[in-house]
Amino acid sequence: VLVLQAAWALAGGQVRYSVPEEAKGGTVVGRLAQDLGLEAGEAEARRLRLVAQGRRASVEVSGASGALVVSSRLDREELCGKSAPCALRLEVLVERPLRVFHVELEVTDINDNAPIFPAARKNLSIAEWTTLPGSRFPLEGASDADIGANAQLSYTLSPSEHFSLDLQKTEEDGESLFLVLTKSLDRETIPVHRLVLTASDGGRPSLTGTMELVISVLDVNDNAPQFNQSVYKVQLPENAERGTLVTRVTATDMDEGSNSNISYSLQILSPQDGRDVFRIDRNSGEIRLTGDLDFEDVGLYRLQMDATDKGTPPLSGHCKLLVEVLDVNDNAPEVWVTSLSVPVPEDASVGTVVALLSVSDRDSGANGRVRCWVWPASPFGLEATFAGSYSLVLREALDRERVSEYEVEVRAEDGGAPSLRGRRGVRVPVSDVNDNAPAFAQAVYTVLARENNAAGAELARLWARDPDEAGNGRVSYSVWEGGVGGGWRPASSYVSFEVRAVDAGEPPLCGNATVQ
């Protein structure tokens, strides 16, 4: 398998690559480290890596080379379904300094799915003589999980002097496939016609699927039911409850008696897994909701209504129902911390990146537009780095001796009515730096001492406070023996001397006091 880097561009921190689905593990997608401007060896030294964002990316950064390679099976249909293009948005981190890059990986389609019909065989009943040439009978077309040319289907019918195919395409209701009667039928000559319908996709090489058509030639009833509309259109909000009336379809039959008694049925044309969402009353033609709608999963249902009379043989009329699902604000924004760099030193400069966050909302339009902020507002703020990506940055100077830890909350609110909110708490501890010198409670201490004290006798106890942590706040003491007037003499010869307190920080800081 040859997998070539289709294109890449670094602009505003974003790199783009392309790879075909089903590429073998170890296939090089692109020279990520080089495309990001990293020198040789920097990829490993600065810990170049991908940031996980919920679903498996199927690619990874390869060791010291910094190449982006395929790590597991890439199935475009599993990742993106029928969506095109299939673009995976990845985040790449490097450290020292911390920096984020955005990589867009397009998984291109290969022709690995053959067309599939909803059933292996379809039975049709067509009356002899009374069914005129030119009569049309709707067929369920095949589906292909691929996209683009690989999913463009064409149909052929096994040779027959009585039947042909007609494929119609409209922007409004998509493709419609019909079996067309080209010559009147004679049951006594051929009672059953068996044909093979073949669907071929546009891939190279092309893949095919087949369905057998079994056409029984019958007599009698010469008027099929007719709907008063060829296409019904309905809109339903995605939070419509089960039992909601979708619409009512009506068909009439010009025959009399049992030949004009009609029963209704429906079938889902697309999507194929929507068969349990709707139900039709066979007698009244009322269609009601029997399942849950979700705009984020399916935005449009295409149904076929059949009206069949009770004649001998029964005849059917057909129409289509298009049900558009309307979005409601039923998904709250989600906030995820993708990277956290803590603790933050108290001397960190304004603008330091503390955390990287990802914000998303599954709704669409205004319901999916999200605004974010930090609470409380200081000393941190949010900066948007990319669509749905934010950096939590330092906006004010820190002081560990005043506040040693912050509990901040990143809040997100969508534009729905009413709006929904999401939040994510972030704990930010502040680490100590040696920014406080030891300090005595007094600048001058006066001590009363008796003469003739023995060596080692205690004169006084002094204490200096250092609010820093650990070694930065650990104090040692000494007598400073600098002489007055430029000379050096033993401290014991003085009635006034200095005591110095020094911490263990790097560099050390000191304070002093005079003892008289």
* SS3 state of residue 85: coil
Q: Which residues contact 5 (CB under 8 A, 6 or more apart)?
A: 17, 18, 28, 29, 30, 31
Q: Is residue 280 within 8 Å of 264, Cβ to Cβ?
A: yes
CATH class held by domain 434-515: mainly beta
Residue 333's pLDDT is 94
Cα–Cα distance measured from residue 33 to residue 40, given in angstroms and rounded to the nearest whole number: 8
Residue 360's pLDDT is 92
Domains of the chain, residue spans: 15-108, 121-218, 226-326, 334-431, 434-515
Residue 55's pLDDT is 61
Residue 2's pLDDT is 32
The domain defined by 334-431 folds into: Immunoglobulin-like (2.60.40)
Residue 89's pLDDT is 86
226-326 belongs to CATH 2.60.40.60: yes
Cα–Cα distance measured from residue 334 to residue 421, given in angstroms and rounded to the nearest whole number: 8
88: nearest Cα among 29, 4, 18, 11: 18
Residue 3's pLDDT is 37
Q: Are strands 510-515 and 444-445 parallel, antiparallel or unpaired?
A: parallel
Residue 220's pLDDT is 65
Please provide the DSSP assignment of 418-464 as one string: S--EEEEEEEEEEE--S----EES-SEE-----TTPPTT-------E
Cα–Cα distance measured from residue 512 to residue 516, given in angstroms and rounded to the nearest whole number: 13
Provide the phi-psi class of 25: left if phi over 0, else alpha when psi is between -120 and 50, else beta.
beta
What CATH architecture does domain 15-108 belong to?
Sandwich (2.60)
Residue 488's pLDDT is 59
CA distances from 260 to 126, 237, 263, 311, 481 (A): 17, 36, 10, 7, 122
What CATH architecture does domain 121-218 belong to?
Sandwich (2.60)
Instruction: Report angle CA 460, 463, 469 to the nearest 5 degrees.
Output: 160
Residue 467's pLDDT is 93
306: nearest Cα among 269, 257, 335, 254: 269
Identical fold at 226-326 and 434-515?
yes
Residue 49 burial (C-beta neighbours within 10 Å; 0-12, 13-18, 19+): middle
DSSP code for 32: H
Residue 169's pLDDT is 86
Residue 38's pLDDT is 85
Task: Walk along the chain (516 residues) in steps of 10 and give the mean pLDDT of each run.
Answer: 37 76 88 86 83 73 84 86 84 86 90 94 89 92 91 95 93 87 90 96 95 87 88 94 95 87 91 85 95 90 94 90 92 93 94 94 89 91 90 94 94 91 94 94 91 86 92 91 55 75 93 92
Cα–Cα distance measured from residue 198 to residue 206, given in angstroms and rounded to the nearest whole number: 12
